[in-house]
Structure 1
Amino acid sequence: MEEKYSWLGTVSAPQEYPMEIYKGAIVADDFTYGFDAIWGTQNTGWGKEGGTMSVETEKMNLPQHLEFTWYSLVEKKFYTGKWDLNKEKIKTLFDEGFVDQDTRKRTTYNSFVVGLAPKGKVVLWAKGPGNQKEIGAFQAHDTIITKEKAYDNAQYMFKEGFADRMLKDPSYKTFKPEVRKKIEEEGYPSEDVYEVYREKYNWKPDVILPEGGVWLDFGFTNYNGEQENLFAKSLKDDTYKPRAIPKFCGFYWRDKNKNRYAVWVDAFDDKEIFELFQKIGKEEDIDFTIKVNEDNTKVFLSLMTEQGEVFITKAKVRLSRKIE
């Protein structure tokens, strides 16, 4: 008997590139998790899950097939594709699982996130508490769907001016105000950037604390949508690994008097962080270093290699006061 697992599905798209779901499915031998126009517009951010639909099936086989059709509002194009999934890779990921930091118990992934990007790029991730891993990347092709052939619930996509209203009329709230402002000032990101995000470098986090300080954990999300949560044994055993460039990270630490503090790097400057990593290259071992001062009021960020140290100067950092 094939082992069964509990999983659901969701959709992700870049904040700047909203996608309209037409139809799709994550398919296993004994179960199909379907998508259609009821999912509406998706742009939660690259790698970030959207909503999920509950299902009556509690446990099912792992999926072996993905198919998806969607409308890219910015490009004003439909894309479609069907792909076989690497079921062995998925099974290995699910069977290995990870330790949940909150419960301290071994658990595993429970959701598949379908990422839809410009030019028909598709990425599939497995998601679980504090962890997200890329399963595969795929290429869809553009297609033509006419109003006459579209099913009833999708007819709204074919109304004249639909895409322009969704993109340009603030009353539709397609974009967060800060995203709209950035698009107005800088234009849309390069359509190719979601492939650049997938490039990996050999790095590990390294936190430098005042004397007597204890590093407790390190959670981070990378530009490619992958996410890791290091603590206890996984933090102690962590070493250089091929990882995409970090987009967000945060950690807790304790000083010599047992007072607890937190540091969050909420965002990097895209241009700066990519230029620094790209200049170092993929052959070097890189320490992504965060040095904290005595009272948790200032940090210094840098990338360190055998060749030297380069500083990250444009990140948005939050520092906690003493946490009781």
Structure 2
Amino acid sequence: MKKILLFLLLTLQIASCQNHNSNNKKMNEPQYEWGIAVNTPIGYPIRFYAAMVGGTPIVGELYTEKEEPDWGNAFGYESTSMDKLPKSVDMVWLSYKEDCFYRLKTAIDYEKIAKLFREGFNQRVPNGEVRHKTYDTIVVGIAPGGVVVFWAGNGYKKITEIGRYQAEKIDLKEPPGLDSHERLIFSKEDREEVLNSDLTIPKAVREANKNKPIPFGLWDSYRDHQYQWFPVYEIPNGKIGDVNYRYWNGEAGATLYTDFASYMGKVDFFYLEEPIQKRPLFKELVIWYKAENGEKYLAEVSFDWEAVVAAYQKVFRKEADKVMAHLDIRVNRNNTYLTFQLIGDNGKQTFLEPKTLEISKFTEEDVIPPTPFE
């Protein structure tokens, strides 16, 4: 009964926040088919006591991730419905690893959300065609320390950050009248079971984190390490295909091969011609390309966080706002390896070693349709 009353209270609070505009303006607000997904870093499960995103409750309770991507993933969303986009949130949850409760009650960036949903994006669909789509998920990311990040998402190939928010630690006591299931969130036995179960935290992760402090601030650092840089793809006597990318801050997207331009007039150097801007650091890359030998290849790359940060700091040093750099990504002529060289306009440069790299040849019969480039 207590949880039901809290849900009603949250609904009334959020409805009150959303009623500050005139009725006429509200009537003009568009509706979209959208749902909610919840992300937690691997090894840091949480349980909601109650949560509302706009006027939509988060129905699930226990949330945990056991594999990548665990930060910026719009899969696994709860049921979608046609509704207005959220303007505020009110959420209370237990952080199992920290053994404490948090609450986030705040307005969120409705204007940015509305702009993202309204403008949408172009995406290649499985049959190879490019179609205009829009977002269908509000992704809620909850990290240790009460860090909350919201993204607009569609699957895990298109994720755009909405904003970062800070929850407050609260002292939540068990109210009387709860049934056995509702009492789980206050149970010490349940906490021990969750923290030591392979169903919630993989054994390898538990062992790796054993006796280590919680890395507070890590998820903020994923957002904070942004520099003025851009990638350049070098395919000797070849052609670039689509490129899927994922940043460490959880954002993800794709660059279609038709959007690439020649870099510095070189026909086998490709980049996205756009204004220079700060961007996060690569976590993963998937590159389709056609090599000099006429064959088509797929390169899948991942990067280690500490290694990529060290490389960028070596080039940018303490002049992040003054330096501009490009990451030269070069395919060797045997199509067995990629090199990654970060080159700054300050004369500094360094090579970045990938964590994993796999290059494979593909054909028209592959399960994943190849990029339809000549």
TM-score between the two structures when normalised by the length of structure 1: 0.88
Tell me which residue corresponds to 2:370. none
Distance, in Å, in 2 between the alignment partners of 1:182 and 1:34 is 35
Does the Cα contact within 8 Å between 2:64 and 2:201 map onto a contact in 1?
no
Tell me which residue corresponds to 2:92. 69
Q: Within 5 Å, which residues of 2 pair with 1:203-282?
A: 203-210=229-236, 212-236=237-261, 237-239=272-274, 240-266=276-302, 268-281=303-316, 282=320
Q: For residue 150 of structure 1, report the CA deviation from its aligned partner.
A: 8.1
Which amino acid in 2 is paired with 1:163? Answer: R
1:31-89 superposed Cα distances (whole Å, 9 cap, x missing partner) = x22114x331323512224632224x4x2212111121111111001100111122211
Q: For residue 180 of structure 1, report the CA deviation from its aligned partner.
A: 2.9
Distance, in Å, in 1 between the alignment partners of 2:286 and 2:202 is 24
TM-score between the two structures when normalised by the length of structure 2: 0.77
Distance, in Å, in 1 between the alignment partners of 2:40 and 2:343 is 33
Distance, in Å, in 2 between the alignment partners of 1:176 and 1:249 is 25
The secondary structure found in structure 2 opposite 1:198 is helix
Deviates more, 1:236-245 or 1:146-155: 146-155
CA shift in 2, pair 1:61/1:41, >3 Å = closer
Tell me which residue corresponds to 1:305. 344
Q: For residue 23 of structure 1, report the CA deviation from its aligned partner.
A: 1.6
Deviates more, 1:42-51 or 1:102-111: 42-51
CA shift in 2, pair 1:227/1:150, >3 Å = farther
User: Which of 22, 25, 47 is equivalent to 2:72?
Assistant: 47
User: Which of 106, 112, 130 is equivalent to 1:104?
Assistant: 130
Tell me which residue corresponds to 2:355. 315
Q: How many residues align?
A: 312
Distance, in Å, in 2 between the alignment partners of 1:286 and 1:271 is 19
Distance, in Å, in 2 between the alignment partners of 1:17 and 1:116 is 9
User: Which of 154, 161, 164 is equivalent to 2:192?
Assistant: 164
CA shift in 2, pair 1:182/1:308, >3 Å = same
Does the Cα contact within 8 Å between 1:217 and 1:235 map onto a contact in 2?
no
Distance, in Å, in 1 between the alignment partners of 2:353 and 2:233 is 17
CA shift in 2, pair 1:150/1:216, >3 Å = farther
Q: Within 5 Å, which residues of 2 pair with 1:196-207?
A: 196-199=221-224, 200-207=226-233
Q: Within 5 Å, which residues of 2 pair with 1:137-152?
A: 137-148=164-175, 151-152=178-179
Runs of 4+ with deviation above 4 angstroms: none
Does the Cα contact within 8 Å between 2:330 and 2:338 map onto a contact in 1?
yes
Q: For residue 113 of structure 1, report the CA deviation from its aligned partner.
A: 0.3
The secondary structure found in structure 2 opposite 1:216 is strand
1:256-305 superposed Cα distances (whole Å, 9 cap, x missing partner) = 34311011113x22221112223333232222222111131112122122
Tell me which residue corresponds to 1:8. 35
The secondary structure found in structure 1 opposite 2:58 is strand
Tell me which residue corresponds to 1:35. 58
Distance, in Å, in 1 between the alignment partners of 2:231 and 2:177 is 49
The secondary structure found in structure 1 opposite 2:173 is coil
The secondary structure found in structure 2 opposite 1:109 is coil
Deviates more, 1:139-148 or 1:66-75: 139-148
Tell me which residue corresponds to 2:371. none
CA shift in 2, pair 1:291/1:177, >3 Å = farther
Distance, in Å, in 2 between the alignment partners of 1:83 and 1:234 is 38
Distance, in Å, in 2 between the alignment partners of 1:159 and 1:271 is 37
Q: For residue 159 of structure 1, report the CA deviation from its aligned partner.
A: 2.0
* Identical aligned residues as a percent: 26
Q: Runs of 5+ in structure 1 lacking a partner?
A: none
Q: For residue 94 of structure 1, report the CA deviation from its aligned partner.
A: 1.5
1:119-155 superposed Cα distances (whole Å, 9 cap, x missing partner) = 1111100002521111111111111222335854431
Which amino acid in 2 is paired with 1:226? Answer: E
Distance, in Å, in 2 between the alignment partners of 1:181 and 1:300 is 33
Q: For residue 16 of structure 1, report the CA deviation from its aligned partner.
A: 2.5
Does the Cα contact within 8 Å between 1:12 and 1:50 map onto a contact in 2?
no
The secondary structure found in structure 2 opposite 1:261 is strand
Distance, in Å, in 2 between the alignment partners of 1:154 and 1:26 is 21
What is the Cα-based RMSD across aligned positions, in Å? 2.1
Q: Runs of 5+ in structure 2 lacking a partner?
A: 1-27, 262-271, 365-374
Distance, in Å, in 1 between the alignment partners of 2:277 and 2:300 is 22
Does the Cα contact within 8 Å between 2:39 and 2:64 map onto a contact in 1?
yes
Does the Cα contact within 8 Å between 1:16 and 1:188 map onto a contact in 2?
no
Distance, in Å, in 2 between the alignment partners of 1:292 and 1:248 is 16
